[in-house]
């Protein structure tokens, strides 16, 4: 059985591996953040996640993300012998990371759908996709913190690294997702849209 020190060492190695191949993985995650579907409440979002409703279209899109995430574990495995992590743990990590990434993508999609609904309900207009992505990622990473709309940069590297790390050590993201959905339900969509329009031009992506 791996002890806490071994798990921490392995997680650090897996995190470093994620950074080695982050460009392709981050690009793949960004392409699946948004869906045309809408979630109208935190309770509805939690029900969807509890049932893990997924169609073939979703599975096909997520498969590429999973395929790009699991090689990070193989890279980490090569360094595991230096941290004395049991090989049984390393062997099972690829599957665990795949599950964690697949679950994480579904969580961020449902969260994005609720964020979009809150903005559209308040403004009566389609939500800016970049705003939806920005708010959803910020809430997912830190549900207690107010989304930072002073720029439109997405923290996708941190998001994908978190999925890989948690998958490598077998930890669930369900509580984080539930808290993010609760925070999204409290959002003032009109105020978000106004803050987004008012952000400095210098900090807007081209």
Query: Would you kindly state where each structural domain of the chain is located, as residue ranges?
Result: 4-203
User: Which pLDDT score, from 0 to 100, does residue 80 have?
Assistant: 46
Per the CB < 8 A criterion, the answer to whether 72 and 164 are in contact is: yes
Please indicate, yes or no, whether the overall pTM of this predicted structure exceeds 0.85.
Answer: no
Nearest to 39 by CA among 141, 137, 107, 123: 107
Q: pLDDT at position 182, please?
A: 98
Question: pLDDT tens per residue, the chain (206 residues)?
Answer: 455 565 555 555 555 555 455 566 677 787 888 888 899 999 999 999 987 555 444 555 556 666 666 555 555 545 444 445 454 455 456 667 778 888 898 999 999 999 999 999 999 999 999 999 999 999 999 999 999 998 888 998 888 878 877 877 778 899 999 999 999 999 999 999 999 999 876 455 54
pLDDT, position 31: 81
Residues 6+ apart with CB under 8 A from 19: 157, 161
């Amino acid at each position: 059985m791996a002890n806490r020190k071994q798990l921490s060492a392995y997680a650090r190695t897996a995190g470093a591996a994620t950074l080695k191949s982050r460009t392709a993985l981050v690009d793949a995650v960004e392409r699946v953040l948004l869906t045309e579907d809408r979630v109208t409440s935190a309770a509805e979002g939690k029900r969807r996640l509890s049932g893990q409703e997924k169609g073939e279209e979703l599975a096909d899109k997520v498969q590429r993300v999973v395929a790009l995430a699991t090689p990070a574990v193989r890279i980490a495995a090569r360094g595991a012998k230096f941290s004395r992590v049991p090989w049984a743990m390393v062997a099972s990590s690829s599957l665990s990371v795949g599950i964690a990434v697949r679950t994480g993508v579904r969580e961020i999609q449902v969260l994005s759908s609720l964020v979009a609904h809150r903005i559209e309900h308040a403004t009566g207009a389609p939500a800016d996709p970049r705003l939806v992505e920005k708010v959803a990622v910020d809430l997912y990473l830190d549900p207690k913190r107010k989304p930072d709309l002073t720029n439109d940069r997405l923290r996708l590297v941190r998001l994908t690294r978190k999925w890989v790390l948690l998958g490598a050590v077998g930890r669930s993201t369900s509580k984080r997702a539930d808290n993010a959905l609760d925070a999204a339900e409290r959002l003032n969509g009109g105020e978000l849209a106004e803050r987004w329009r008012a952000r400095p031009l210098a900090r807007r992506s081209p």
